[in-house]
Amino acid sequence: MSASKAQISFAELLGANESETQKWRQWFDKQPASVLDVPLSIALAKNVREFVLHIFAVELRYAERLTGPPVTDYQNLSTLSVADLFATGDRARGIYRDYLGTATDEDLAIVMEFPYPYCRHHPCQQAQNVHTRLTPQHAPLGAVGHRPARGP
């Protein structure tokens, strides 16, 4: 099969995202709560808690951009527990599912444009006059692209 014929539907991508999220949720649920405070340096996160927040916040913020509500600020997302962090991802996927259930071909053809940096945590936050273009089909890809390549 050629790359030009390789396709995955929005629903299939959402299902794959959910499946991987469940694997990670199960893994985190088996760990001590202190695992969230393990130091690391990825995506400007100082620890696992901030990194997991970044992954789910990206999913949520893409979903919000796609559907129109104001974009949730990172400070308004709870990070107290694994359940709180994964609830943000659940919320994002719920928005995507609702959107997918009502989206028309015209909706899927819309190209969204928003100023960059759209994420205050992004290392390119000093960029000026740069815009990101995003179609509804690409929004979940951006979110999935923020995930580790392999599950636990």
List domains and CATH numbers for the chain.
Answer: 7-109+139-144 (1.20.120.450)
Q: Which tokens belong to 148? A: 């580790």
Q: Supply the pLDDT for residue 40.
A: 93
CA distance 93 to 148: 18
Other residues' Cβ atoms within 10 Å of the Cβ of residue 17: 20
pLDDT tens-digit map of 46-96: 999 999 999 999 899 988 988 888 899 989 999 999 999 999 999 999 999
Q: Say whether pLDDT at 125 is over 50.
A: no
Tell me the pTM: 0.75
pLDDT tens-digit map of 90-120: 999 999 999 888 888 888 887 777 655 544 4
Question: For the chain, what is the largest distance between any 2 Cα atoms, rounded to a whole number of angstroms?
Answer: 47
The pair phi, psi for residue 6, each rounded to 5°, is -75, 125
Other residues' Cβ atoms within 10 Å of the Cβ of residue 38: 11
